[in-house]
Amino acid sequence: MMKLWCVGALSLASIYYAQNYPVSEISDVLKKNASAVVRNENTVLEINKIDEIVYHNSSAITVINKDAVGFAIPRIYYEKGNAASNIKVTVYDEKGVKIKSYSKSDFSDVAANSQGTFYSNNRVMYLSYTPTTYPYTIEFSYDQKDPNTVFIPDFTPYQDFNISLQKSSFKIINKSGINLRSKTYESPYGFASVKVADEDGGKVYAYENVPAIDHEDMAPNPQKILPKVSFSLDQFSLVGKKGNITTWKDFGLWYYNNLLTPVSVSTPQIKSEIAALNLSGSTEEKVKKIYQYMQSKTRYVFVALGIGGWQPMLPDEVQKKGYGDCKGLTNYMKTLLDEAGIPSYYAIINSNSSPISFDADFPKMGGNHAILVIPTEKGNIWLENTSQEMAYNHLGYSTTDRNVLAVKPTGIEIMQTPVYSSEQNKEKQILNIQLNADKTINGKGKFTYTGNQYDFNLSYSGLDQTEKNNAVKNSFSTLSFEKVEMSGFKNNRDIAAVDFDLDFKAINYSKMVGSSFIFRAVPIYSDATYHQDENRKLPFESRFSFEDEYEIVYKLPAGYFIEEMPENGNINSDFGTYKISFEKKDDQLIVKRFLQMKKGLHPKEKYNDYIGFRKKIMNADNSKILISKKS
């Protein structure tokens, strides 16, 4: 910034055109693949006592294109007791010339209800800025006092793709006398590193010149790529509730006694609900009946009330109102099970498409979802309580293969959610297809999906008939449908399976070659585009294993015979196995296809091997059969 006391040759005009954050100062390395560049980010935390942290936040973000406008919008999340002050915003153009300044009075203040929140103490102040040109830079600063000391944020360069960072610092000054634990997690791929230094009674952590992570195909979550530093006070406060978090046991005892016990209250109405179910049979049968009853009378609505939004609604409220969020519905289900004499445990989890687990050696408040676990002699039963359609004892792909914090009266036990095998994550497809001499086909199909493939097809259950037909038409886009009709749709909530039948007609399936026809071996398959990448920067992740098993029976047009067909194929790789076979039988051709893909995180050097494997599969799916007229 120019000094105000500058005089002489420096006129008022030169002060007006003072430059801040000109885009020309951003290196090409940081511009590459970046929609925004964090120019300078600075956070200072002053931990004054067990129930007071003061944050001094400042940032300058250059927005390169429209994709990052939302990322750079100034926002301040708060609730009662931690409102912000000293709010300042300045916008600069590409050359660093000031466009406009804003203050607190320019901000909108609304409920933080991006998830369709019904009730919440959470609010957000935001500045709506509509750019006229790109790039531009937003400089934003504010102070915030927070009585909740359990949520010290992790320090990481950024949390999303296509963002780069020029400079960022995170300083902690601990005046509380309470021990502050920290743990540095290095980037497993050497993508960036944190610098640590002592400074003026505090400790400073810093990142510099961290390039953007491009959203490459199959890239893992940035949390798996970037370094971070985690922090946690040994003693903390959450909305006046003080506790210890030196061990998971200590934290679990506090969680159980302060967040769960006060709302683990049954009522005569809940007792009568259980009595009316006339439960009998095994524990598994009883849990299933209670779970499906709970699903039938509740729906998901996010509710951020009660001890910072972390305490569940009372089960009585859920019972009467018929709605709740993951916390409230899980607690209600737990209360129903308690009345049936079946022990269960409220479990905190990180719900994410790329598995993220808690560190067993570093206790810290975290997680973004709650589920329920019921131990039995036959193994654990896991319940996702927010879906009216989800099958009993089935977890979706965003909650499998990671650990949870199971809250017990004796403290937290870290438990592992199920990992579904490829055989469990299965698609079975049986097609009977009539080949016609006008290049069309008429087909009837039966489809079954289980495991994680069940998750991806569960969305059909909420659609009407026309919507189902259109959805399946879009999903099976390798066929040019003239008509398509889904029927017999069933969500089998006992075994986590989706089944449906398909009746369809497709045009231009065959191609004429003289008086003969050629057609591809597999009608419905993945038509993804696969490209080699010699400059791959990141590892790649197959997020779940699965199997596809197809049987396709083609009936030839009258008077035709199979003149040429491919050889049987078998492709093996580190990533999976593919088999295809062909069998002539009277006026039919039977094609059997099997694909098994393995779950895994692979180094970037193997990416082109993976692409080669997928291309071989696509070529085999598209291998051609020739049929000709009988002479």
pLDDT digits (tens, 9 = 90+) for 136-176: 999 999 999 999 999 999 999 999 999 999 999 999 999 99
pLDDT at 201 (0 to 100): 84
- Residue 287: in which H helix or E strand, if any? helix 283-297
Q: What is the CATH number of the domain that holds 506?
A: 2.60.120.1130
Whether 138 and 121 share a structural domain: yes
| Whether residue 247 has pLDDT greater than 50 | yes
| Whether residue 104 has pLDDT greater than 90 | yes
Contact 298, 318 (CB under 8 A): yes
Confidence bin at 121 (pLDDT 50/70/90): low
Confidence bin at 307 (pLDDT 50/70/90): low
Instruction: Say which amino acid occupies 165.
Output: L
Write down the pTM of the prediction.
0.89
Domain end call among 206, 230, 254: 230
Q: How far is CA 490 from CA 388, 444, 453, 458, 466, in A?
A: 14, 17, 14, 10, 16
Q: Which two tokens stand for residue 503?
A: 């009746």
Whether 277 and 356 share a structural domain: yes
| Whether residue 236 has pLDDT greater than 80 | yes
| Whether residue 1 has pLDDT greater than 70 | no
Backbone torsion region of residue 586, taken as left when φ is above 0, otherwise alpha when ψ lies between -120 and 50, otherwise beta: left
C-alpha 332: how far from chain center? 25
Compute the distance between CA of residue 308 and CA of residue 285 in angstroms, rounded to an integer. Answer: 36
| Domain assignment present for 2 | no
pLDDT digits (tens, 9 = 90+) for 488-500: 999 999 999 999 9
Q: Which two tokens stand for residue 112?
A: 């933080």
Confidence bin at 544 (pLDDT 50/70/90): confident
Q: How far is CA 15 from CA 8, 90, 102, in A?
A: 12, 16, 19
The vertex-403 CA angle with 266 and 368, nearest 5°, equals 60
Residues present in the chain in total: 631
| Whether residue 115 has pLDDT greater than 90 | no
Confidence bin at 216 (pLDDT 50/70/90): confident
Average pLDDT of span 19-41: 94
pLDDT at 14 (0 to 100): 38
Average pLDDT of span 395-405: 95
Average pLDDT of span 290-309: 80
- Beta strand pairing call for 323-324 and 299-300: parallel
Give the residues across from 97 on adjacent strands. 19
Average pLDDT of span 271-288: 96
The domain total for the chain is 3
Compute the distance between CA of residue 440 and CA of residue 510 in angstroms, rounded to an integer. Answer: 7
Q: What is the CATH number of the domain that holds 273?
A: 3.10.620.30
At 337, is the secondary structure helix, strand, or coil? helix
| Whether residue 8 has pLDDT greater than 50 | no
Domain extent, residue 43, equals: 23-230
Alpha-carbon dihedral angle through residues 108, 112, 118, 119, given to the nearest 10 degrees: -100
Whether 168 and 259 share a structural domain: no
| Domain assignment present for 6 | no
Average pLDDT of span 585-606: 95
DSSP letters spanning 28-49: HHHHTT-SEEEEEEEEEEEEEE
Best CA proximity match to 439, nearest among 517, 555, 523: 517
Q: What is the CATH number of the domain that holds 125?
A: 2.60.40.3140
Bond from prior residue into 355 cis (ω within 30 degrees of 0)? no
Q: Which two tokens stand for residue 102?
A: 């804003």
Compute the distance between CA of residue 138 and CA of residue 73 in angstroms, rounded to an integer. Answer: 8
pLDDT at 458 (0 to 100): 94
Percent of the residues in the chain that have a pLDDT greater than 70, as a whole number: 94
Alpha-carbon dihedral angle through residues 148, 151, 152, 158, given to the nearest 10 degrees: -140
Compute the distance between CA of residue 179 and CA of residue 266 in angstroms, rounded to an integer. Answer: 39
Among 288-292, 535-539, 595-599, which stretch is predicted with the lowest mean pLDDT?
535-539
Residues 6+ apart with CB under 8 A from 486: 460, 465, 468, 469, 472, 500, 501, 502
Whether 408 and 440 share a structural domain: no
Phi, psi for 522 (deg, rounded to 5): -120, 120
| Whether residue 296 has pLDDT greater than 90 | yes
| Domain assignment present for 12 | no
Compute the distance between CA of residue 510 and CA of residue 567 in angstroms, rounded to an integer. Answer: 20
Beta strands in 305-425, from DSSP E residues, in sequence order: 323-324, 345-349, 369-374, 381-383, 403-408, 411-416
Question: What percent of the chain is helix, strand and coil (3-state, nearest 5)?
Answer: 20, 40, 40
Percent of the residues in the chain that have a pLDDT greater than 90, as a whole number: 83
CB-count exposure of residue 30 (10 Å: 0-12, 13-18, 19+): buried
| Domain assignment present for 10 | no
Whether 393 and 426 share a structural domain: no
Domain end call among 195, 230, 265: 230
Compute the distance between CA of residue 456 and CA of residue 449 in angstroms, rounded to an integer. Answer: 9
Q: How far is CA 324 from CA 329, 330, 542, in A?
A: 5, 9, 33
Average pLDDT along the chain: 92
Neighbours of 275 (CB within 10 A): 11
Task: Render the burial of 195-213: b for 16+ CB within 10 Å, e for the rest.
Answer: eeeeeeebbbbbbeebbbb
Compute the distance between CA of residue 225 and CA of residue 221 in angstroms, rounded to an integer. Answer: 7
The vertex-456 CA angle with 327 and 450, nearest 5°, equals 95
pLDDT at 430 (0 to 100): 98
Whether 211 and 265 share a structural domain: no
DSSP letters spanning 116-176: --SEES-EEEE-----SSSSEEEEEEEEEEES--S-PPPB-S-SSTTEEEEEEEEEEEE-S
At 333, is the secondary structure helix, strand, or coil? helix
Average pLDDT of span 337-349: 97
Contact 122, 111 (CB under 8 A): yes
Compute the distance between CA of residue 414 and CA of residue 450 in angstroms, rounded to an integer. Answer: 27
Whether 194 and 293 share a structural domain: no
Whether 94 and 167 share a structural domain: yes
Compute the distance between CA of residue 458 and CA of residue 178 in angstroms, rounded to an integer. Answer: 49
Give the residues across from 404 on adjacent strands. 415
Confidence bin at 110 (pLDDT 50/70/90): confident
Whether 409 and 525 share a structural domain: no
| Domain assignment present for 137 | yes
Compute the distance between CA of residue 270 and CA of residue 272 in angstroms, rounded to an integer. Answer: 5
Confidence bin at 543 (pLDDT 50/70/90): confident
Whether 399 and 447 share a structural domain: no
Whether 365 and 459 share a structural domain: no
C-alpha 109: how far from chain center? 28
Compute the distance between CA of residue 349 and CA of residue 366 in angstroms, rounded to an integer. Answer: 8
| Domain assignment present for 410 | yes
Whether 507 and 537 share a structural domain: yes
| Whether residue 230 has pLDDT greater than 90 | yes
Confidence bin at 529 (pLDDT 50/70/90): confident
DSSP summary character for residue 614: H
Q: How far is CA 19 from CA 72, 95, 209, in A?
A: 20, 7, 21
Compute the distance between CA of residue 14 and CA of residue 556 in angstroms, rounded to an integer. Answer: 83
| Domain assignment present for 17 | no
| Domain assignment present for 109 | yes
Compute the distance between CA of residue 402 and CA of residue 368 in angstroms, rounded to an integer. Answer: 13
Compute the distance between CA of residue 346 and CA of residue 518 in angstroms, rounded to an integer. Answer: 58
Best CA proximity match to 264, nearest among 324, 326, 315: 315
Average pLDDT of span 273-289: 96
DSSP summary character for residue 312: P
Longest dimension (CA), the chain: 103
Instruction: Say which amino acid occupies 363.
Output: P
Confidence bin at 527 (pLDDT 50/70/90): confident
Rg (CA), the chain: 30
At 579, is the secondary structure helix, strand, or coil? strand
Best CA proximity match to 515, nearest among 626, 387, 400: 626
Domain end call among 230, 254, 274: 230
Average pLDDT of span 510-538: 89
Best CA proximity match to 517, nearest among 473, 462, 475, 557: 557
